[in-house]
């Protein structure tokens, strides 16, 4: 498939690029800093651009079979709308160019999965460290849900840099109110790519953890 990857310089995004190339997909990665992608491959095109620039987004969306977003940032302590505004640009561009399949990574602990990252995140990390970040993720999910696309919102647990196991839990009941469940970025990427050929989670919000 022809895939556009947004957020390819993050840990999950890099795994997504690696595994998608291994599967033979043709990739375009829209990134702010192309030098952060060390992978070179005949099926990978790295385009410099910002997801907040609609004209650039629509240029790279045109002609794709699907868009995969692992968009994130590290501005945890300030109010920001990067995720929600960037995702709105992606969706508007997809609807304009009739690209219908959208898979986006957010997190457990958002909206109807609230509290499912365990007590440590619920009582400390989310309210005191990543409050603005998670509020923007909640807006991001609302925008996706309001679209006409065939979307899937992937909600991982706490991310690790562990190996790809290819075996994990996924679905609406994943997570824990007391303990923080984890998942490797490699297995999140594996799950995302599985959704390209599986309609089980169309317009649903599966959690993913071990």
Q: Which CATH superfamily is domain 2-209 in?
A: NAD(P)-binding Rossmann-like Domain (3.40.50.720)
pLDDT at 78: 87
**Could you tell me if 71 and 30 are in contact, meaning their C-beta atoms sit under 8 angstroms apart?**
no
203: left (phi over 0), alpha (psi -120 to 50) or beta: left
Residue 203 has pLDDT above 90, yes or no: yes
Work out the mean pLDDT of the chain and round it to a whole number: 97
Q: What is the pLDDT of residues 9-52, one digit of tens each?
A: 999 999 999 999 999 999 999 999 999 999 999 999 999 999 99
pLDDT at 76: 83
pLDDT at 142: 98
In sequence order, which residues have a C-beta less than 8 Å from that of residue 194 and are 6 or more positions away? none
Mean pLDDT, residues 172-199 taken together: 97
pLDDT at 74: 83
Q: How is the chain split into domains, by residue range? A: 2-209
% pLDDT > 90, the chain = 96
Q: What is the pLDDT of residues 150-161, one digit of tens each?
A: 999 999 999 999
Nearest Cα residue to 59 out of 1, 99, 7: 99
Tokens standing for residue 43: 């099926």
How far apart are the C-alpha atoms of 30 and 203, rounded to whole Å?
24
Tokens standing for residue 36: 């952060």
Mean pLDDT, residues 43-71 taken together: 97
Model confidence at 179, pLDDT cuts 50, 70, 90, reads very high
Residue 107 has pLDDT above 90, yes or no: yes
pLDDT at 27: 98
Q: What is the pLDDT of residues 114-140, one digit of tens each?
A: 999 999 999 999 999 999 999 999 999
């Amino acid at each position: 498939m022809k895939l556009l990857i947004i957020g390819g310089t993050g840990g999950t995004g890099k795994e997504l690029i690696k595994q998608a190339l291994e599967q033979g997909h043709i990739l375009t990665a829209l990134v702010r800093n192309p030098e952060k992608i060390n992978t070179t491959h005949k099926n990978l095109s790295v385009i410099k651009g910002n997801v907040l620039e609609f004209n650039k987004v629509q240029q790279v969306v045109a002609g794709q079979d699907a868009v995969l977003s692992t968009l994130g940032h590290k501005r945890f302590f300030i109010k920001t709308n990067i995720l929600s505004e960037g995702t709105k640009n992606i969706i508007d561009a997809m609807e304009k160019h009739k690209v219908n399949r959208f898979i986006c990574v957010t997190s457990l602990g958002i909206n109807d999965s609230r509290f499912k990252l365990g007590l440590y995140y619920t009582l400390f990390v989310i309210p005191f460290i990543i409050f603005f970040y998670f509020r923007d993720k909640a807006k991001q999910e609302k925008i996706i849900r309001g679209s006409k696309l065939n979307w899937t919102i992937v909600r991982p647990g706490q991310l690790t840099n562990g190996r790809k196991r290819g075996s994990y839990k996924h679905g609406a009941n994943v997570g824990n109110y007391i303990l923080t469940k984890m998942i490797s970025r490699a297995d999140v990427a594996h799950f995302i790519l599985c959704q390209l050929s599986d309609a089980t989670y169309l317009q649903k919000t599966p959690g993913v953890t071990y």
